[in-house]
Amino acid sequence: MKVALAVILTAVAVLLAALLDLLKDEVRGQLERIPYGLLRLASRRVPPELREALHDREWLPELHHILAESERLPITCLIRGTRYALGLVRAARFVARELAPVRGPLPGETAHGGVRTCAKLAVGALAAAVSFVAGFGVFGAFGGAVVSLTGGLVVVVVVFDVTHDLRELGREREPTPWA
Amino acid sequence: MHGEPRITTALAKVLRAFLDDPSVPRYGFDLMRGTRLPSGTLYPILARLERMGWVVSQNEDVDPVVEGRPARRFYRLTEHGLRQGAHELMALSDALRPPATVPAALSPQGGRA
């Protein structure tokens, strides 16, 4: 009986220790995410066309440097990272307003990207409609063939271009290449 | 892009840090440490200086995969920023220098001979 109790108590102790370890890792993981979360919040206060220039190319590398420098001191790391990110949450709008004329939008990033994509879709739909009508011989045999082919080509180009645009607009943040 | 900023104490600290060695590139966090300014104060100042053409910024030319870290952005004084910054700091220093008639008791030696 005593042996069974000892075995059970040992098992419970091991289980509790493992659970505590997991809990510790979980808490540590969540705490480490705080500065990054705050920095993302700061980037939301910036116009979309400046987010890459400010968040991805300046603030995030700097935060990475700050955290790496105090890697062995988790609390210092958390405090420094959080202070850095919090300051930027406060200053993000001002920084963006000052830098908008200097750094401007990066290639492929425009505030009206969605509108432009819709316009391309409209052109594609029009080309598809013209091609469809041409199939009924409205433009004659030769004219119909030429219009159909041209319309089809336009549709293919538009589909290709819009697919690229949509990927850009809704792209997930790429995994950090240095990690 | 040029203009005249209002020289605040914080801005003066940043200019002073740049003028320590104008050829050295300065990173945001290093400037924060050197000037003891928080990011919420430093980055607006850097942004204003960049808009006015006193500093330029660019990303390090490093391969993130090789270095194991992302390329950081650094700032450097321009010729214009160097001239104007030095001029403004000297003007500020002149304006803040205690008058020659300061009472002896308030001097750094505390009035002792």
* Digit-coded pLDDT (tens) for A37-93: 999 999 999 999 999 999 999 999 999 999 999 888 989 999 999 999 999 999 999
**Total count of domains within chain A:** 2
More confident residue, A93 or A166: A93
Domain assignments of chain B as residue spans, ordered by start: 9-92
Per the CB < 8 Å rule, is B47 touching A94?
Answer: yes
Place of tokens 């700032």: B75
- The stretch A142-165 carries a mean pLDDT of 74
Taking CB atoms and an 8 Å cutoff, what residues of chain A touch B47?
94-95, 98-99
Residue A2 resides in a domain: no
Is the residue at A35 inside a domain?
yes
Neighbours of B87 (CB within 10 A): 10
Per-residue pLDDT reduced to its tens digit, A61-74: 999 999 999 888 98
> A76 and A143 in one domain?
no
Answer whether residue A5 is part of any domain: no
Per-residue confidence (pLDDT) for residue B37, from 0 to 100: 97
**Could you say which of A76, A103, A130 is where a domain stops?**
A103
Q: Establish if A174 belongs to a structural domain.
A: no
Q: Are strands B26-27 and B55-59 parallel, antiparallel or unpaired?
A: unpaired
Question: Where a domain ends, among A103, A134, A157?
Answer: A103
Structure tokens of A5? 């109790």
Q: Which residues of A touch B51 (CB under 8 A)?
A: 98-99, 101-102
Distance CA A56, CA A173 (A): 10
Specify if A139 maps to a domain: yes
| Of A103, A123, A145, the domain-final residue | A103
Q: The whole model's pTM is what?
A: 0.68
Higher pLDDT pick, A160 / A36? A36
Chain A positions in Cβ-Cβ contact with residue B73 (cut-off 8 Å):
57-58, 61-62
Domain range for A153 is 113-169
Q: Name the CATH code of domain B9-92 (choices 3.10.520.10, 2.30.30.90, 1.10.10.10, 2.40.50.100).
A: 1.10.10.10
pLDDT tier at A171, thresholds 50, 70, 90? very low
Helix (H) or strand (E) holding B22: none
Are residues A131 and A65 both part of a single domain? Answer: no
- By three-state DSSP, how is residue A31 classified? helix
- Please tell me the distance from the alpha carbon of residue B107 to that of residue B64, in angstroms, as a whole number: 54
**CA A153/CA A43 separation, integer angstroms:** 40
Q: Find the angle CA(A173)-CA(B64)-CA(A88) to the nearest 5 degrees.
A: 55
Q: How confident is the model at residue B18 (pLDDT cuts 50, 70, 90)?
A: very high
Q: Are A17 and A94 in the same domain?
A: yes
pLDDT band at A108 (very low <50, low <70, confident <90, very high): very low
Residues A17 and A85 in one domain: yes
- Please check whether residue A106 is in contact with residue A100, taking contact to mean a CB–CB distance below 8 angstroms: no
Tens-place pLDDT, residues B58-111: 999 999 999 999 999 999 999 999 999 999 999 999 988 888 777 766 666 655
The predicted pLDDT at position B56 comes to 96
ipTM of predicted complex: 0.84
Residues A54 and A118 in one domain: no
Residues A76 and A136 in one domain: no
Residues A91, A136, single domain; the answer is: no
Same domain, A70 and A152: no
| Residues A169 and A117: beta-carbon distance below 8 Å | yes
Q: How confident is the model at residue A173 (pLDDT cuts 50, 70, 90)?
A: very low
Asked if residue A20 is part of any domain, the answer here is yes
**pLDDT at residue A174 in the model:** 43
User: Does any domain span residue A1?
Assistant: no
User: A65 vs B71: CB contact, 8 Å cut-off?
Assistant: no
Residues of A with CB under 8 A from a CB of B: 57-58, 60-62, 64-66, 68, 83-91, 94-95, 98-99, 101-102, 176-178
Q: Indicate if A89 and A18 belong to the same structural domain.
A: yes
